[in-house]
Amino acid sequence: MQSNILDFISQQYNTMTRSSKKLADYIFTNKSMVQYMSITSLAEASGVSEATITRFCRGLGLAGYNEFKLALARVDHTTVTGDPTDTGAAVTDGDSFENVCRKLYQTDVKAMSETLELMDTDSTAKAVDLLSGARRVFCFGQGGSNVMAMEAWARFSTASSQFLHIEDSHMQAMAAALCDEQDVILFFSYSGSTRDMLDVLRPAKNGGAKIILITHFSNSPAAALSDVILLCGSNESPLQSGSIAAKIGQMFIIDYLFYAYCLKNPERCAKAREATAQATARKLL
Protein backbone atom coordinates (compact mmCIF):
# COMPACT_ATOMS: atom_id res chain seq x y z
CA MET A 1 0.00 0.00 0.00
CA GLN A 2 1.19 3.52 -0.78
CA SER A 3 2.07 5.92 2.02
CA ASN A 4 -0.77 8.27 1.01
CA ILE A 5 -4.00 6.44 1.78
CA LEU A 6 -6.11 8.92 -0.20
CA ASP A 7 -4.07 8.36 -3.36
CA PHE A 8 -4.46 4.61 -2.91
CA ILE A 9 -8.24 4.94 -2.53
CA SER A 10 -8.34 7.01 -5.74
CA GLN A 11 -6.47 4.31 -7.63
CA GLN A 12 -8.81 1.58 -6.36
CA TYR A 13 -12.01 3.60 -6.76
CA ASN A 14 -13.17 2.21 -10.14
CA THR A 15 -12.96 -1.39 -8.91
CA MET A 16 -14.91 -0.75 -5.68
CA THR A 17 -18.47 -1.84 -4.96
CA ARG A 18 -21.25 0.72 -4.96
CA SER A 19 -21.32 0.96 -1.16
CA SER A 20 -17.52 1.29 -0.99
CA LYS A 21 -17.63 4.11 -3.55
CA LYS A 22 -20.29 5.82 -1.43
CA LEU A 23 -18.01 5.56 1.58
CA ALA A 24 -14.98 6.76 -0.40
CA ASP A 25 -16.94 9.79 -1.65
CA TYR A 26 -17.81 10.73 1.92
CA ILE A 27 -14.19 10.30 3.04
CA PHE A 28 -12.88 12.54 0.25
CA THR A 29 -15.43 15.23 1.10
CA ASN A 30 -14.81 15.05 4.86
CA LYS A 31 -11.22 13.77 5.08
CA SER A 32 -10.21 16.10 7.93
CA MET A 33 -13.23 15.14 10.03
CA VAL A 34 -13.28 11.36 9.51
CA GLN A 35 -10.14 10.76 11.57
CA TYR A 36 -12.04 11.97 14.65
CA MET A 37 -15.11 9.78 14.06
CA SER A 38 -15.96 6.40 15.53
CA ILE A 39 -16.84 3.62 13.13
CA THR A 40 -20.50 3.90 14.19
CA SER A 41 -20.53 7.66 13.58
CA LEU A 42 -18.95 7.24 10.14
CA ALA A 43 -21.43 4.52 9.22
CA GLU A 44 -24.37 6.76 10.09
CA ALA A 45 -22.91 9.84 8.41
CA SER A 46 -21.92 8.08 5.19
CA GLY A 47 -25.01 5.90 4.93
CA VAL A 48 -23.18 2.56 4.84
CA SER A 49 -22.92 -0.29 7.34
CA GLU A 50 -20.08 -0.83 9.81
CA ALA A 51 -19.35 -4.11 8.02
CA THR A 52 -18.85 -2.17 4.77
CA ILE A 53 -16.34 0.10 6.50
CA THR A 54 -14.43 -2.89 7.88
CA ARG A 55 -14.31 -4.55 4.45
CA PHE A 56 -13.29 -1.23 2.89
CA CYS A 57 -10.33 -0.91 5.29
CA ARG A 58 -9.20 -4.49 4.78
CA GLY A 59 -9.47 -4.03 1.03
CA LEU A 60 -6.89 -1.27 1.40
CA GLY A 61 -4.50 -3.71 3.11
CA LEU A 62 -5.23 -2.40 6.60
CA ALA A 63 -6.02 -4.42 9.73
CA GLY A 64 -9.15 -2.42 10.49
CA TYR A 65 -10.78 0.95 10.98
CA ASN A 66 -8.39 2.25 13.63
CA GLU A 67 -5.42 1.65 11.34
CA PHE A 68 -7.30 3.47 8.58
CA LYS A 69 -7.84 6.51 10.83
CA LEU A 70 -4.14 6.52 11.65
CA ALA A 71 -3.25 6.40 7.95
CA LEU A 72 -5.70 9.21 7.25
CA ALA A 73 -4.23 11.33 10.04
CA ARG A 74 -0.75 10.95 8.56
CA VAL A 75 -1.75 12.50 5.23
CA ASP A 76 -3.88 15.25 6.78
CA HIS A 77 -2.27 18.62 7.41
CA THR A 78 -0.74 18.01 10.82
CA THR A 79 2.22 19.30 12.76
CA VAL A 80 5.07 17.21 14.15
CA THR A 81 3.07 16.96 17.38
CA GLY A 82 0.05 15.50 15.57
CA ASP A 83 -2.04 18.67 15.87
CA PRO A 84 -4.22 19.63 12.88
CA THR A 85 -2.86 22.78 11.25
CA ASP A 86 -6.33 24.17 10.55
CA THR A 87 -6.81 25.06 14.22
CA GLY A 88 -5.44 28.21 15.78
CA ALA A 89 -4.23 26.28 18.81
CA ALA A 90 -2.00 23.88 16.87
CA VAL A 91 1.50 23.63 18.36
CA THR A 92 4.24 23.94 15.73
CA ASP A 93 8.00 23.52 15.92
CA GLY A 94 8.35 27.29 15.32
CA ASP A 95 6.43 28.27 18.46
CA SER A 96 8.16 29.80 21.42
CA PHE A 97 7.67 28.09 24.76
CA GLU A 98 5.31 30.86 25.86
CA ASN A 99 3.19 30.39 22.72
CA VAL A 100 3.09 26.64 23.32
CA CYS A 101 1.74 27.24 26.83
CA ARG A 102 -0.87 29.71 25.60
CA LYS A 103 -2.06 27.33 22.87
CA LEU A 104 -2.28 24.42 25.29
CA TYR A 105 -4.27 26.62 27.67
CA GLN A 106 -6.71 27.49 24.88
CA THR A 107 -7.10 23.82 23.96
CA ASP A 108 -7.67 22.74 27.56
CA VAL A 109 -10.21 25.49 28.25
CA LYS A 110 -12.02 24.59 25.03
CA ALA A 111 -12.24 20.97 26.17
CA MET A 112 -13.97 22.05 29.38
CA SER A 113 -16.30 24.41 27.51
CA GLU A 114 -17.29 21.67 25.08
CA THR A 115 -17.87 19.24 27.95
CA LEU A 116 -20.08 21.78 29.69
CA GLU A 117 -22.12 22.23 26.51
CA LEU A 118 -22.54 18.45 26.23
CA MET A 119 -23.66 18.07 29.85
CA ASP A 120 -27.19 16.71 30.22
CA THR A 121 -28.79 17.37 33.60
CA ASP A 122 -31.22 14.44 33.36
CA SER A 123 -28.42 11.98 32.54
CA THR A 124 -26.31 13.38 35.37
CA ALA A 125 -29.18 13.05 37.84
CA LYS A 126 -29.78 9.45 36.75
CA ALA A 127 -26.07 8.68 37.14
CA VAL A 128 -26.02 10.14 40.64
CA ASP A 129 -29.10 8.10 41.59
CA LEU A 130 -27.39 4.92 40.37
CA LEU A 131 -24.18 5.74 42.24
CA SER A 132 -26.08 6.55 45.44
CA GLY A 133 -28.10 3.35 45.40
CA ALA A 134 -25.31 0.96 44.45
CA ARG A 135 -23.81 -1.66 46.76
CA ARG A 136 -20.51 -1.35 44.87
CA VAL A 137 -19.29 1.02 42.18
CA PHE A 138 -16.42 -0.29 40.06
CA CYS A 139 -14.36 2.44 38.36
CA PHE A 140 -12.95 0.83 35.22
CA GLY A 141 -11.06 1.79 32.07
CA GLN A 142 -8.14 0.56 29.98
CA GLY A 143 -4.96 2.25 28.86
CA GLY A 144 -5.08 6.01 29.33
CA SER A 145 -8.73 5.74 30.35
CA ASN A 146 -7.68 3.63 33.33
CA VAL A 147 -5.91 6.73 34.66
CA MET A 148 -9.29 8.48 34.61
CA ALA A 149 -10.94 5.53 36.33
CA MET A 150 -8.32 5.68 39.06
CA GLU A 151 -8.87 9.43 39.42
CA ALA A 152 -12.61 8.88 39.84
CA TRP A 153 -12.01 6.19 42.46
CA ALA A 154 -9.57 8.43 44.36
CA ARG A 155 -12.04 11.33 44.32
CA PHE A 156 -15.10 9.37 45.39
CA SER A 157 -13.14 7.37 47.99
CA THR A 158 -13.01 10.50 50.14
CA ALA A 159 -16.81 10.41 50.42
CA SER A 160 -17.76 6.72 50.30
CA SER A 161 -16.29 3.24 50.75
CA GLN A 162 -18.48 1.73 48.03
CA PHE A 163 -16.18 2.84 45.18
CA LEU A 164 -13.58 0.31 43.98
CA HIS A 165 -10.87 0.31 41.34
CA ILE A 166 -9.18 -2.62 39.60
CA GLU A 167 -6.34 -1.93 37.18
CA ASP A 168 -5.74 -5.26 35.47
CA SER A 169 -8.12 -5.95 32.56
CA HIS A 170 -8.38 -9.66 33.39
CA MET A 171 -9.33 -8.90 36.99
CA GLN A 172 -11.82 -6.33 35.74
CA ALA A 173 -13.50 -8.99 33.60
CA MET A 174 -13.62 -11.39 36.56
CA ALA A 175 -15.18 -8.76 38.84
CA ALA A 176 -17.67 -7.83 36.13
CA ALA A 177 -18.72 -11.46 35.74
CA LEU A 178 -19.76 -11.50 39.41
CA CYS A 179 -21.70 -8.22 39.30
CA ASP A 180 -25.46 -8.17 39.82
CA GLU A 181 -28.31 -5.65 39.87
CA GLN A 182 -26.95 -4.02 43.03
CA ASP A 183 -23.68 -3.03 41.33
CA VAL A 184 -22.69 -0.15 39.05
CA ILE A 185 -19.83 0.07 36.56
CA LEU A 186 -18.45 3.58 36.05
CA PHE A 187 -16.54 3.05 32.82
CA PHE A 188 -14.18 5.46 31.05
CA SER A 189 -13.54 5.06 27.32
CA TYR A 190 -12.98 8.02 25.00
CA SER A 191 -13.79 5.96 21.89
CA GLY A 192 -16.24 3.49 23.41
CA SER A 193 -14.88 0.92 20.95
CA THR A 194 -12.28 -1.47 22.37
CA ARG A 195 -12.27 -5.25 22.74
CA ASP A 196 -11.13 -5.20 26.39
CA MET A 197 -14.01 -2.86 27.19
CA LEU A 198 -16.58 -5.30 25.80
CA ASP A 199 -15.01 -8.12 27.82
CA VAL A 200 -15.95 -6.13 30.93
CA LEU A 201 -19.26 -4.54 30.02
CA ARG A 202 -21.00 -7.56 28.46
CA PRO A 203 -20.78 -9.87 31.50
CA ALA A 204 -21.62 -6.98 33.83
CA LYS A 205 -24.72 -6.20 31.76
CA ASN A 206 -25.72 -9.86 31.65
CA GLY A 207 -25.52 -10.00 35.44
CA GLY A 208 -27.87 -7.02 35.80
CA ALA A 209 -25.33 -4.34 36.73
CA LYS A 210 -25.98 -0.75 35.68
CA ILE A 211 -23.38 0.91 33.46
CA ILE A 212 -22.42 4.59 33.43
CA LEU A 213 -20.20 5.41 30.46
CA ILE A 214 -17.98 8.47 30.18
CA THR A 215 -17.03 8.85 26.51
CA HIS A 216 -16.80 11.22 23.55
CA PHE A 217 -19.13 9.25 21.27
CA SER A 218 -22.82 8.73 21.95
CA ASN A 219 -23.00 5.99 19.30
CA SER A 220 -20.56 3.17 20.00
CA PRO A 221 -20.56 -0.47 21.14
CA ALA A 222 -20.10 0.68 24.74
CA ALA A 223 -22.93 3.20 24.47
CA ALA A 224 -25.28 0.45 23.32
CA LEU A 225 -24.61 -1.42 26.57
CA SER A 226 -24.83 1.60 28.87
CA ASP A 227 -27.67 2.87 31.04
CA VAL A 228 -26.27 6.40 31.23
CA ILE A 229 -23.89 8.17 28.85
CA LEU A 230 -21.95 11.28 29.90
CA LEU A 231 -20.12 12.99 27.05
CA CYS A 232 -16.75 14.73 27.25
CA GLY A 233 -15.49 17.35 24.82
CA SER A 234 -12.25 17.63 22.81
CA ASN A 235 -11.60 15.96 19.45
CA GLU A 236 -8.64 13.59 19.58
CA SER A 237 -6.98 12.36 16.40
CA PRO A 238 -5.16 8.99 16.24
CA LEU A 239 -1.86 10.92 16.44
CA GLN A 240 -2.98 12.63 19.67
CA SER A 241 -3.84 9.51 21.65
CA GLY A 242 -3.78 10.21 25.38
CA SER A 243 -4.12 13.97 24.96
CA ILE A 244 -4.40 15.99 28.15
CA ALA A 245 -7.32 18.00 26.73
CA ALA A 246 -9.46 14.88 26.42
CA LYS A 247 -8.56 13.90 29.98
CA ILE A 248 -9.43 17.38 31.26
CA GLY A 249 -12.91 17.02 29.80
CA GLN A 250 -13.32 13.70 31.60
CA MET A 251 -11.95 15.09 34.86
CA PHE A 252 -14.53 17.86 34.68
CA ILE A 253 -17.22 15.17 34.51
CA ILE A 254 -15.68 13.41 37.52
CA ASP A 255 -15.76 16.67 39.43
CA TYR A 256 -19.37 17.58 38.73
CA LEU A 257 -20.48 14.00 39.38
CA PHE A 258 -18.68 14.06 42.71
CA TYR A 259 -20.29 17.30 43.87
CA ALA A 260 -23.73 16.18 42.69
CA TYR A 261 -23.22 12.94 44.62
CA CYS A 262 -22.25 14.83 47.78
CA LEU A 263 -25.23 17.17 47.47
CA LYS A 264 -27.56 14.18 47.22
CA ASN A 265 -25.94 12.42 50.21
CA PRO A 266 -24.86 15.35 52.43
CA GLU A 267 -24.66 13.70 55.85
CA ARG A 268 -22.99 10.50 54.70
CA CYS A 269 -20.46 12.35 52.55
CA ALA A 270 -19.69 14.99 55.18
CA LYS A 271 -18.96 12.28 57.76
CA ALA A 272 -16.79 10.30 55.34
CA ARG A 273 -14.85 13.35 54.14
CA GLU A 274 -14.15 14.37 57.73
CA ALA A 275 -12.91 10.87 58.57
CA THR A 276 -10.69 10.61 55.46
CA ALA A 277 -9.31 14.09 56.00
CA GLN A 278 -8.30 13.21 59.55
CA ALA A 279 -6.76 9.94 58.38
CA THR A 280 -4.47 11.70 55.90
CA ALA A 281 -3.77 14.76 58.05
CA ARG A 282 -1.35 12.86 60.27
CA LYS A 283 0.72 11.95 57.20
CA LEU A 284 1.49 15.59 56.46
CA LEU A 285 4.56 17.27 57.96
| Residue 187: predicted pLDDT | 98
Q: Are 155 and 137 in contact (CB under 8 A)?
A: no
Identify the domain boundary among 53, 75, 97. Answer: 75
252 and 137 both lie in a single domain:
yes
106 — pLDDT class (breaks 50, 70, 90): very high
CATH code, domain carrying 161 = 3.40.50.10490
Tell me whether residue 95 is in a domain. no
In terms of domains, do 69 and 197 share one?
no
Whether 44 has a pLDDT exceeding 50, the answer reads: yes
273 and 144 in one domain? Answer: yes
The pLDDT value recorded for residue 1 is 45
Same domain, 47 and 169: no
Residues 129 and 259 in one domain: yes
Average of pLDDT values for 89-112?
88
Q: What is the mean pLDDT of residues 95-119?
A: 93
What's the mean pLDDT in 41-51?
Answer: 92
The letter for the amino acid at 62 is: L
Task: Read off the pTM.
Answer: 0.80
- Asked whether residue 172 falls in the same domain as residue 276, the answer is yes
Local confidence band at 124 (pLDDT 50, 70, 90 cut-offs): very high
Measured distance between the N- and C-terminal CA atoms of the chain, rounded to whole angstroms: 61
Write out the residue range of the structural domain in which residue 63 sits.
5-75
Q: Is residue 111 part of a domain?
A: no
- The domain tally of the chain equals 2
The answer to which of 154-158, 220-224, 228-232 has the lowest mean pLDDT is: 220-224
Mean pLDDT check: name the lowest of 18-22, 76-80, 133-137. 76-80
Q: What is the CATH number of the domain that holds 54?
A: 1.10.10.10
Q: What pLDDT sits at residue 171?
A: 96
- Name residue 138's beta-bridge partners: 164, 185
- Domain assignment present for 102: no
- Model confidence at 36, pLDDT cuts 50, 70, 90, reads confident
Distance CA 152, CA 164 (A): 10
In a domain, 101, yes or no: no
At 38 the pLDDT is: 85
Q: Kindly report the average pLDDT of the chain as a whole number.
A: 90
| pLDDT(70) > 60 | yes
